């Protein structure tokens, strides 16, 4: 940022987007699709448009290395925070933590499939009624918390319906309490599983639903969004069943009962 020793997120994003545009301009003649930024408020929200009309959306975000496995991300752009405020991304450590927990699960574990089903329901609901404060990250966090407190043998594929119901119930309870703690930040127990930076372990626990505590309107919208998702799930999940032979249709009743 001008006249300061701090890095401006806005300037980094502008430079990043300019680099992407210049790079695409040099090779675009080789491809039969268009590439554009679809959201100027997001650092790397891109959309591919094919001649058929089909679109694919994805994100590529610039980061600054904090240490070997943690990064400061420019992806979070908000007028509520200073331009030199860089949120910490622990994605690599979070994925490593999940992989470590997965090692103690049965070979035919259902944890990833349970998460995929819930994310499928959530994205379908987003398409029906628009986005809420719930993000994929919240569902993934709920899964990790559930893995930590459930007997590993209870994650065999035969128990998919039960684990799916528990996962949805856990998310619903977190919403009701407006509280979901990050699985790594301020959690010394996580250090028993993977090596973490001292700044992460010693930090105060972070409530991922704090924005719902301070914003009743957003909370009501998110709460209704989730329960509408549960209400629609018996029908919506049928779209998922043909794509995976492992999903038993009894999961529809299980999901519905969670509401």
Instruction: Tell whether 81 and 176 lie within a shared domain.
Output: no
- How distant, in Å, are the alpha carbons of 69, 133, 174, 191 from that of 196? 9, 28, 25, 6
Q: Which of 89, 107, 132 is the last residue of a domain?
A: 89
pLDDT average, residue stretch 164-180: 96
160 & 68 share domain: no
Domain CATH for 208: 1.10.1410
pTM of the model: 0.78
| Neighbouring-strand partners of residue 50 | 33
* Cα of 13 vs its chain's centroid, Å: 21
pLDDT, tens only, 17-75: 899 999 999 999 999 999 988 766 667 789 999 999 999 988 888 888 887 788 888 87
Task: Report whether pLDDT(244) > 60.
Answer: no
Q: What is the pLDDT of residue 41?
A: 61
> 55 is in which domain, residue-wise?
1-89
- Both 83 and 95 in one domain: the answer is no
pLDDT score of 116 more than 70: yes
Reported as a pLDDT band with limits 50, 70 and 90, residue 255 is very low
The answer to whether residues 76 and 122 belong to one domain is no
Cα 122 to Cα 43: distance, rounded to the nearest angstrom: 23
Q: What sign does the CA torsion over 184, 185, 187, 192 have?
A: positive
Q: What is the pLDDT of residue 258?
A: 38
Which of 36, 70, 89 represents a domain boundary (last residue)?
89
Distance CA 36, CA 63 (A): 20
Query: Rounded mean pLDDT of the chain?
Result: 86
Residues 100 and 199 in one domain: yes
User: 157 and 231 share a domain?
Assistant: yes
Q: Is 145 exposed, middle or buried (0-12, 13-18, 19+ CB in 10 A)?
A: middle
Are residues 46 and 103 located together in one domain of the fold?
A: no
CA 15, 74, 54: angle at the middle one, nearest 5?
A: 80
Model confidence at 246: pLDDT above 80: no
Pair (94, 82) in one structural domain: no
Q: Contacts by 95-102 with C-beta closer than 8 Å and gap 24+?
A: 96/69, 96/194, 97/144, 97/183, 97/184, 97/190, 97/193, 97/194, 98/140, 98/143, 98/144, 98/147, 100/193, 100/194, 101/144, 101/147, 101/148, 101/193, 102/147
What's the confidence (pLDDT) of residue 143? 97
Residue 104 and residue 151: Cα distance in Å, rounded? 10
Cα–Cα distance between 129 and 100 in angstroms, integer?
A: 36
Same domain as 197, residue 257: yes
Handedness of CA 242, 246, 252, 255 (dihedral sign): negative
Same-domain status, 76 and 167 = no
Q: Residues in the chain, how many?
A: 259
Q: Please state the domain count of the chain.
A: 2
What pLDDT score does 257 carry?
A: 39
Is the domain of 101 the same as that of 85? no
User: How sure is the predictor about 80, in pLDDT bands with cuts at 50, 70 and 90?
Assistant: low
- Residue 241 scores a pLDDT above 80: no
| CA distance linking residue 183 with residue 178, whole number of Å | 16
Domain boundary among 57, 89, 121: 89
Same domain, 103 and 84: no
The pLDDT of residue 78 is above 80: no
């Amino acid at each position: 940022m001008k006249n300061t020793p701090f890095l401006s997120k806005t300037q980094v994003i502008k430079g990043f987007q300019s680099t992407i545009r210049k790079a695409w301009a040099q090779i675009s003649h080789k491809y039969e699709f268009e590439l554009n930024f679809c959201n100027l408020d997001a650092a790397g929200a891109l959309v591919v448009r094919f001649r058929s009309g089909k679109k694919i959306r994805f994100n590529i975000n610039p980061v600054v290395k904090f240490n070997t496995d943690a990064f400061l991300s420019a992806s979070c752009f908000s007028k509520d925070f200073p331009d030199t405020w860089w949120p910490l991304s622990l994605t690599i450590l979070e994925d490593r933590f999940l992989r470590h927990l997965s090692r103690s699960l049965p070979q035919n574990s259902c944890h990833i499939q349970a998460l995929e089903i819930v994310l499928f329901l959530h994205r379908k609901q987003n398409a029906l009624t628009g986005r809420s404060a719930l993000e994929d990250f919240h569902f993934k966090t709920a899964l990790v918390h559930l893995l930590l407190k459930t007997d590993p043998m209870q994650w065999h594929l035969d128990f998919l319906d039960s684990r799916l119901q528990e996962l949805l119930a856990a998310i619903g309870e977190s919403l009701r309490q407006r509280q979901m703690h990050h699985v790594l930040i301020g959690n010394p127990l996580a250090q028993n599983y993977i090596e973490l930076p001292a700044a992460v372990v010693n930090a105060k626990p972070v409530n991922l639903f704090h924005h719902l505590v301070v914003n009743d309107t957003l909370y009501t919208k998110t709460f209704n969004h989730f329960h509408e998702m549960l209400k629609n799930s018996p029908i919506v999940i049928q779209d998922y069943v043909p794509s995976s032979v492992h999903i038993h249709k009894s999961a529809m009743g299980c999901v519905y009962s969670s509401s």
